[in-house]
Amino acid sequence: MNRKKGIHFEISERKVLLRVFDIFVVLLGLYVLGLFFDFEYLVIEKTNYLPILVLVIYLALFGTIFELYDLQKSSKIDVTFRNIVLASSTTVLFYLLTPVLTPFLPENRLQIVYFFLTIILSIFLWRVAYMTFISSPRFYKRVLLVGEISHVEHIVKVLNQSDPNYKIIGFINCEKEALDPIKFKGLKEFEPEQLLNVISKFKISEVLVASYNSETITQDIYHDLITLLEKGFTIREYTQVYEEITYRVPIQFVGKDFYKYFPFSRSNQNTLYLFFHRLFDVIFSVSGLVFGILILPLILIGNLIGNRGPLFYIQERIGKNGKPFKIVKLRSMVINAEVNGAKWAQKNDLRVTAFGRFLRRSRIDEIPQFINVLKGDMSIIGPRPERPFFVNELSRVIPFYETRNIIKPGLTGWAQVNTRYGSSVDDSLTKLQYDLYYIKHRSLFLDINIIVKTLSTILYYRGQ
């Protein structure tokens, strides 16, 4: 068997590549601008190391906030250009507003225009090159799926949606042949005896095993997999790849060996981490409440005109270890919105008032919950607290649902920044997958990532 594989970049490699080259091309563009034009605002040389460092930090920060490193969005030219303009505009604005660390404003204001346009043009040209070459089929990670046909459709759909460069070329049904076999037409099926030839012919990078019961794998396929493994070929288990690519824990495929999938983060018991986590909660909550008091007059006017009723509402939610507490929010729905019982919130929910929709999308309706954070009922970051009715209902149909309550609920969380508002059992399952991923990988880095993504959600007005 020819062991030569196609060249491909892993997710982490592509994200690093985008970040490094965004900075490189901007500095190169400014250097070239200084060589051929009368540009003196920011000269790329050793003596200007501090202004250059500040620019690099701003580019990295606002590039993240405006989703320049989201691989799905980075593969679309129109979305990428919009995000480049937003990130560059904010970078230049903050750069101009920090003259202590950056160059003073030049007398010739055209210098700022050149500076701004060079940043946009440099990043855009590099991103066009990225889409043309790096994000092209020649660099796709080509994968062969070996699994049970009854689960193939879900696997293919989720992985293709999560990573545009992760391409499943075909699949081999590892189950014994049935009298009335199921056929899946969305992907090319190969015969078990073709496994080694397919890997060679299509330059497969890895084999993905998606069998939820190893006993179903036929002896011939098992022997071929062993042969590949002994030759150093990459063979990976589906749940491992699912978690790595989607940043979710696939709990619906976890069986009796569930303990293998939940080696929860040590940060959940790390005293130092928990101390700083609580310190951040207090500082952020006090700041949030001060901001809320400052904009309270505007909220009162909006509520008087658009809501016409009580400003606040109090509702029972489930907290850490299943302990109920009272949550405080700004009212965004009509009065007596649930007079006929609890209902899922829907997209474009008619019960939400015009002013309430603004409060939700801007996340201003969450400000009173800083009181819950100060009291210790909640944290800034964690799974969203759910109502007792829905917790009882979802616990019956979704495995491990109450596991999300082993830490404090939060104002924002990994599920909130990665998916929309849940309006069904399936949506709740997806949110739970994200929540368990956070609990499993909880860390300072992940917390910072969530805060940055929350800023993106607010700036892009995605709240619901």
Domain-by-domain residue ranges, the chain? 11-134, 140-246, 266-459
Q: Are 156 and 168 in contact (CB under 8 A)?
A: yes
pTM of the model: 0.82
- Helices 110-129 and 11-36: crossing angle, nearest 10°? 140
Q: Are 174 and 147 in contact (CB under 8 A)?
A: yes
Q: Are 194 and 202 in contact (CB under 8 A)?
A: no
Q: Would you say residue 464 has pLDDT above 60? A: no
How would residue 57 be classed by pLDDT, with cut points 50, 70 and 90? very high
CATH code matching the domain that covers 140-246, chosen among 3.40.190.80, 3.40.50.720, 3.50.50.60, 3.30.1330.10: 3.40.50.720
Can you say whether the dihedral through the CA atoms of 414, 420, 424, 426 is positive or negative? negative
pLDDT at 344: 63
pLDDT in tens, 97-120: 888 888 888 878 889 999 999 999
What single-letter DSSP state applies at residue 303? I
Measure CA of the first residue to CA of the last residue in the chain; give whole Å. 53
Average pLDDT, the chain: 85
pLDDT at 179: 45
Residue 63 phi, psi (nearest 5):
-65, -35
Report the distance separating Cα 309 and Cα 302, nearest Å: 11
Can you say whether the dihedral through the CA atoms of 168, 80, 453, 346 is positive or negative? negative
Q: Are 68 and 18 in contact (CB under 8 A)?
A: yes
256 by DSSP, 3-state: which?
Answer: coil
pLDDT at 261: 66
State the amino acid at position 340 in one-letter form: N
Report the distance separating Cα 60 and Cα 62, nearest Å: 6
Q: Would you say residue 1 has pLDDT above 60? A: no
Q: Would you say residue 5 has pLDDT above 60? A: no
Q: Are 450 and 439 in contact (CB under 8 A)?
A: no
pLDDT at 339: 61
Q: Are 149 and 178 in contact (CB under 8 A)?
A: no
